[in-house]
Chain A
């Protein structure tokens, strides 16, 4: 999941651990949530269909007591799947159903504390209102025909409010999240890659930029330079190197673009970090 490098501030939320450090989690957006739910729903559906077929097939052979036992098992499995599929998976260490796990999501307690079993239970008991009630409103329509369309419409709107509730608030909370005190956050993986200063740091002495030349840019430009170096695209490197050289008035020798940029990156970072230690954070080149 290293593709989600461009996590915007739109989904970023403060999440303070008991140690007092803000982890800056990203909440799952509506699309991811819906996709995760549809995945889970299809898993449940597939399991139910497969299981029903199995029961029907074995039911042909069985008789009397055997058939009764099968009916009991079928009813119980249906009940358990419908009500406890989500609860059981969210109580596990990953705190996510298979659908959520595929979408890189997990359930967390909104207050930064432990995710409690009752929170998970409440959060999923509310699905009765959000999923099954609207479904049964639809079902009622199908079974009784157009008797009272106004009442049907009202019921549908009323149920719809609960279904679309996540779209109506900033944190994409379902009713269940509201009641359980939970939210769904992204659980991305990020590999530790090479420090881009490693390349250039040895050459700082050779290049010997002046303080004035290093004061041309701030942290934002530094981060852009970092990703340019990381991607290592030859054309971009060339144009960026040219722009920087012009800006700081540097006469280029016969070094490669990459060498120059790596050295400038390391020197600039050293300079900005030195200021950072003194309590001065320079956000970008306009920040003086």
Chain B
């Protein structure tokens, strides 16, 4: 007696012959899509891919259950995986993604972070108050909070006149753009660090934010002690509103991750970290943009707008704009 049903082919061979052309077609399309850009595919080809992908996937399921052709199964697994990554890959255009990011994703993510934002802002304020108080009673403290290269001669040893001169911004109109770029890259690096440090259970991020606030507080206290409090306020806040807010948000994003890792609650620790990471990641994307704006304001705006009242106007306007943008109630996105 023969053990295979009738002539010719095994069932698995017939199965393979009937579908092989589709698989080969999908493979060619994948080669094309992976090699160059998606724009090289025609509309018909793009429409065909999901259909071919699903039929390949179901062929894979069937083959696993009925075929013992190992090579075929491995081929289908890799082909289905390639097509899967294409079908479920990120394929929205950059334009759509940017529009979606700025109109809904980013503000929504920032709103979700509000408790951490408050904590982060509180820490910065605390650092500023403590450092300001210390410098007011004992100016020597200034050197503990402000690194020498950052102070650039603006320290307790400087005369009131020279301090005033650093505020009006006329002295270094040369090299503004380099200065702005440097500030942006430096601040963005600090913000990214604050975010990444959050993973180490919040503490390093908290310290970094405190220290940032302390530097600020020491600076303001020094100028205030010479009767330049109002002027230094304008000098700092014209870009500081944007920049400090960005640093606060970066800290908040870091805290969110650290908190989720330390206290995942009912979720699995990995899932909690992942969820926090997604929200925080969106916020951080925006923080880089904010810092770019702050760098521009600092490098150009501050040096070109020298009137203190006008500086306060710009500072107030930016505060209102950011506040409305993030926290104003808006129509629910459909």
Binary per-residue interface labels of chain B (129-165) against chain A in the complex, 1 for a CB within 8 Å, 0 otherwise: 0000000000000000000000000000000000000
Residues of B near A202 (CB, < 8 A) are: 8
Contact A190 B4 (CB under 8 A): no
In the complex, whether A57 has a CB less than 8 A from a CB of chain B is no
In the complex, whether B57 has a CB less than 8 A from a CB of chain A is yes
Among B66, B67, B89, point to the contact of A93 (Cβ < 8 A).
B89
Contact B3 A119 (CB under 8 A): no
In the complex, whether A270 has a CB less than 8 A from a CB of chain B is yes
Residues of A near B68 (CB, < 8 A) are: 219, 222-223, 269, 272-273, 276
Binary per-residue interface labels of chain A (186-223) against chain B in the complex, 1 for a CB within 8 Å, 0 otherwise: 01111111011110011011001111001000010011
Size range of the chain B interface in the assembly = 35 or more
In the complex, whether B70 has a CB less than 8 A from a CB of chain A is yes
Contact B284 A125 (CB under 8 A): yes
Binary per-residue interface labels of chain B (27-66) against chain A in the complex, 1 for a CB within 8 Å, 0 otherwise: 1000001100110000000000000001001101100011
Residues of B near A147 (CB, < 8 A) are: none
Residues of A near B113 (CB, < 8 A) are: none
Binary per-residue interface labels of chain A (165-198) against chain B in the complex, 1 for a CB within 8 Å, 0 otherwise: 0000000000100111100000111111101111
Tell me the smallest distance from the CB of A40 to a CB of chain B, in Å: 18
Contact B88 A128 (CB under 8 A): no
Contact A179 B77 (CB under 8 A): no
Q: Which of A201, A211, A222 has the most CB of B within 10 A?
A: A201
| Residues A198 and B1 in contact in the complex (CB < 8 Å), given A75-B178, A128-B193, A178-B274 | no
Contact A17 B84 (CB under 8 A): yes
Residues of B near A21 (CB, < 8 A) are: 57-58, 60-61, 80
Residues of B near A190 (CB, < 8 A) are: 74-75, 77-79
- Interface-forming stretch among A30-38, A106-114, A138-146, A248-256? A106-114
Residues of B near A108 (CB, < 8 A) are: 85
Contact A210 B181 (CB under 8 A): no
Residues of A near B199 (CB, < 8 A) are: 126, 129, 162, 175, 179
A188 to B81, CA, bound (A): 9
A267 to B74, CA, bound (A): 22
In the complex, whether A163 has a CB less than 8 A from a CB of chain B is no
Nearest B-chain residue to A74, judged by Cβ: B181
Contact B84 A191 (CB under 8 A): no
Nearest A-chain residue to B15, judged by Cβ: A273
| Residues A95 and B277 in contact in the complex (CB < 8 Å), given A187-B81, A204-B4 | no
Nearest A-chain residue to B288, judged by Cβ: A83
Tell me the smallest distance from the CB of A74 to a CB of chain B, in Å: 9
Nearest A-chain residue to B257, judged by Cβ: A179
Q: Which of B78, B175, B182 has the most CB of A within 10 A?
A: B78
Can you identify 19 A-B contacts, CB atoms within 8 angstroms? A19-B57, A23-B84, A72-B178, A106-B85, A115-B90, A118-B282, A121-B284, A122-B278, A128-B189, A187-B82, A192-B75, A197-B12, A201-B4, A201-B9, A223-B68, A273-B10, A273-B67, A273-B68, A276-B66
Give the 3 A-B CB pairs with smallest separation, nearest first: A122-B281, A179-B277, A181-B274
Which A positions have Cβ atoms within 8 angstroms of B? 5, 17-19, 21, 23-25, 68-69, 71-72, 75-76, 78-79, 83, 91, 93-95, 106, 108, 110, 113-119, 121-123, 125-130, 132-133, 158, 162, 175, 178-181, 187-193, 195-198, 201-202, 204-205, 208-211, 214, 219, 222-223, 226-227, 230, 266-267, 269-274, 276-277
Name 20 extra pairs, CB < 8 A, besides A117-B101, A179-B199: A21-B80, A23-B80, A91-B90, A93-B34, A115-B89, A117-B285, A123-B281, A179-B257, A179-B274, A180-B278, A190-B77, A192-B24, A192-B75, A193-B75, A196-B69, A223-B68, A226-B69, A267-B4, A274-B5, A277-B11
